[in-house]
Each structure stands twice: as C-alpha cells, then as structure tokens.
Amino acid sequence: MDKNRYLIDFNTEHLENEYYDVVIIGSGIAGVYTALEIPEEYKVAILTKETIDISNSVLAQGGIAVSLDEEDSPELHFKDTIYAGAGLCNEESVWVLVNEAASNIKCLCQYGVNFDRKSPKELSLTREGAHSKNRIIHAGDTTGKEVCDKLTSVVRTRNNVTIRERTFVLDLLTENGACKGILAYEEDSTKYKLYLTNVVVCATGGFGQIYEYTTNPEVATGDGVCLAYRAGVELMDLEFIQFHPTVLFHPENKSFLISEAVRGEGAILRNIHGDRFMAEYHELEELAPRDVVSRAIFEEMRKYKSTHVYLDITFKSKEYLENRFPNIYKTCLNYGIDMSKDYIPVAPAEHYCMGGIRSDVYGRTNILGFYACGESACNGIHGANRLASNSLLEGLVFGHKIGSEIGNIIKNREKKIHISVDFQSNRKEQIKEPEAIKKEVQRIMTENVGIIRNKEGLHKAKESLDKYYKMLQSVENKNITHFELQNIVLLSKLVIESAMEREESRGAHFRSDYNKTDDINWRRNIIRKRGESIAQSI
C-alpha cells in the first residue's frame, strides 16, 4: 500500500468505532447549516478539531451577498461574480448560487439571525468591491459570528446531531471508490477512533496557515483537502489564493481584517506619503476586484519601500463608525488608532482559497458518498478570484443542496458497515522542531508563492518543499502538531505545482513572467490523484 496513504499506522480491528448516517467534518457555516438541512430522522455527527465556535466563518466581517433591492437582480449578481472570477467560473454553479440566495437568507432570518435593518421589513444593504449594486446584508461588522452563533444554538437543540469537539479527523476510509468512514484522533483522551458511515461531508475551510500572514484562524491548515487528496479525491484550482487588500498592519497584530465594507462605505487608500493611488490601477478605484487592489497596494509598497499603506475613512463621524463598524473601531482603538481621526495602516494578507476539493452543485466528488462544501470545496463559483461576500453565501446555498441530496441517498443504505484496514508503514523517525519547519514553510510560501509569482521563485519554493515532503514521509506522527505540519507541507507543495502549471496571469494568480491572461488556452488545473501530474481540463 502507498506509504503516504494515511497519517498514522493503525489496524481497524483494534479501534473503537461508532456508526452515523452522516459525518460532517467542520463546524463553520457550511458544516452546521448542512447538518440543519439533513432530515432529522438521520443520525448526524459534527466533528471539529477545536471548539465549535472557532472557524473562518466566525471571523467573517462584511456580510452576505444577495440581490434584494428592486434595482438589483440575480442576473446582475451573476454578471458581477463572473467578472470577478476572471473567466474561470462555472456558470451552472454561479446560477445556483445567485438564484437560491434569497431563499436561504430567508431561512437564516427564521433561525433568528439578526441582520441590520433599514426598516422592520427591509434589510440594510451596503456595497463591496466589484459589486455593481448595494447587495451586502450584514450584522454590524461581525456578520459571521452572528450567523454562526444562531445556527450553532439551533443545531444544539437537534436530537439527531452529536457534536464532537477537539476531534481531529486524520483520514478518509474508502473501499472500491466509496466512502466507508473516517479515522479520527480525540485530543482530550489521546485515543484514535473510527466513525463508520457511507456519507462524509467535508466542510473544513481553507488553508491560510501555509502563509506567514493570514486572516484565517490557526485551525485553517487544510486538513480536509489533504485527507481528500490522500484518499484519491480530485482537487482543483489550488493556485488561486486570494489576498485581502486591507489587513491591519501593526507590530502587535498583522492578521485582523479591516472589512471591504469599510471601502464600500467610502474609505480611500493612500500610500505612505498620504497620496491616493487606486485611480492609477483601475477604473473602479477602491472598489476594484480584490486581486487588483491587493496588487496595487503591493506595487505602492514596493515603489516606496514601505511595509504598508493607509486606509482613510476619517471623513465619517465617530458616532457613525462606532455604530456601523463597532468591532473594527474598538479593535483599532485598542492599538491606539482612532479611525475617525487616524489613517489605518494596512497591508495585504492571505484570506481565501478559491481552489479545493473538486465538486458539483450537490457537493458530490469522485468518491461515492464523499461531499464537500464551503471553502474546502471547489465547484467553480469563484473562478480565479472570489467576489466579496459570496463565501458565507456559498456555505448556505450548497449546504442546503447537500442536505437535500443526502436525504435521497441514505434512506436506502444499509446501516451496517465493516471495513478492515491494517496499515503499517514502519515510520520511526521523530520530527525535530515541527514549529520551526512550519514557520520556514510559511516564509517560503510568502516570499515565492504570494501576490506576485514567477518561474524562478516557484522552482526555488518547489525544491525546498520537495525536501521537506520527502523528509516527513519517514516521520512518525504522534499529535495534532505533527498532523497539521504534514498537511501544511503537502498543501504547499500542491499549490506550488499548480502555480507552476498555470503559465499566465489570471485573477488572484499573477505571474510577472507571464503577466498576460491567456484567453485562448484557458483551463482548469485538476489534480486527479496522488502520484499523478496535474491534468489540464476545460
């Protein structure tokens, strides 16, 4: 058997096991909403490697995109998404997203999510980058937390749902191309356990922790994408990494997001000398697509040898800012920045992964019974660059689609599952200084596979990651630090290989040695399975 197939040596006959109709990995908006959409007659487990309240979704500030205004429409939302995606969006997926947005938002309101309102019957709408209309609904500047808190409170009342916190899912178990369960590590008891099931939903979020600076929480190490890859699940478009343009740049904090909604409310960008510059880069200025704004900031920093630029919203009153952006205002004030008087120092940081587990509009993958949704999935919605505030919406719309699909599938499934795996790799070496290796990988990725890339830097990064990857294959993995390091190194290697393969600049993937978009030979990069080179597919 492939020595890279599993993270640990194990024998299923020696492990405790439990059966569930559905196992959901991840507790962000995609995972929890999917659980709520599954008929209550089925037994569901939500596994999360930290507590249920820690996820990328919780940190989402700006809001959720949905066409509700009489001057807006799903068609306009569709066009804006396609435009931002730089020609690589899957139109079928985007149509599903924009046409089913309103019904899922209505469901959130029924669950008690308290969005800001213009009137008792009308939600307040704002605008973000590359949106042609005001269509972002929000709950102050902590929309993700409000949505996740409400959904979590509802899912806790469901008798059919079991929540297992501090449970790290290592690998997917399959047989004859079909899902049979997962292998997990329970951190509190330090025991391994089998969760037997014919249906696994991967909603583990992104992998921002492969970079030095990211808005993602520490749990975002791409575990779901990696366990899928080791099981032979197809991945897609890993080269497209979105860097958010405006992340606080302060000696004590370089990961706090300054929401795009701040620019949506009129904030402007200024370089280190105080000069406004976005008009030189794009006609939409501060509301250009994120990849454009990030590269413009990067160029201004390079031009003036500065570590940051400034975001200026000082024309708004203190009262307005405290009301509209309470969390951002308070956080900035904690660092001595009064955004009603002071410019906010900002710089780009990794924010979102457009690529991931290749899936269709029902979350299905090439492994029967294995589904993916949210940031860990890639069904082509975002193309080469995600449109602002489509991410939470994606988790809702496709979580609903998966829930409806699963109900049709598992009603005829046999509930007795037996799988026998005896995996012995003879890995004996110990990892020396895993945190140091992680930091070095993050540095390599930031320097060579960041906002602007080129052949020389990518090859340099690949040589280093290949060495780390080879070294780790002989290492015995004993705890979560080891598991995460394996996943970080694997994903970094795959991202580099995907970036090398795409010899053009498109959306969030910009290569200085191929700085034009190849509109004739465009393709999607699909990693089909372990050991195979990337396949180019239209």
pLDDT at 288 over 80: yes
The catalytic position among 230, 263, 290, 453 is: 290
pLDDT at 58 over 90: no
Is-catalytic flag, 290? Answer: yes
pLDDT at 536 over 60: no
Which residue bears the tokens 């690998």?
171
Which residue bears the tokens 């995996």?
423
> What is the architecture, at CATH level 2, of domain 246-350?
Alpha-Beta Complex (3.90)
Q: Please provide the average confidence, as pLDDT, over all residues in the chain.
A: 93
Domain ranges of the chain: 246-350, 428-531
Q: What's CA 32's distance to the chain center, in Å? A: 15
pLDDT at 293 over 60: yes
* CATH numeric code, 428-531: 1.20.58.100
| pLDDT of amino acid 538 | 44
Q: What phi and psi, each to the nearest 5 degrees, are found at residue 122?
A: -135, 125
Dihedral of the alpha carbons of 91, 397, 220, 360, in degrees to the nearest 10 = -50
Residue 144 pLDDT class (50, 70, 90 cuts) = confident
pLDDT in tens, 164-223: 999 999 999 999 999 999 999 999 999 999 999 999 999 999 999 999 999 999 999 999
Tokens of 84: 């931002």
More confident residue, 30 or 528: 30
How many whole angstroms separate alpha carbon 198 and alpha carbon 370? 8
Range with top average pLDDT, 45-54, 405-414, 441-450: 441-450
Closest by CA to 403, choosing from 1, 38, 18, is 38
Residue 534 pLDDT class (50, 70, 90 cuts) = low
How far CA 140 is from CA of 117, 146, 307, 338, in Å, comes to 10, 9, 29, 18
SS3 262: helix
Closest by CA to 114, choosing from 145, 72, 156, is 145
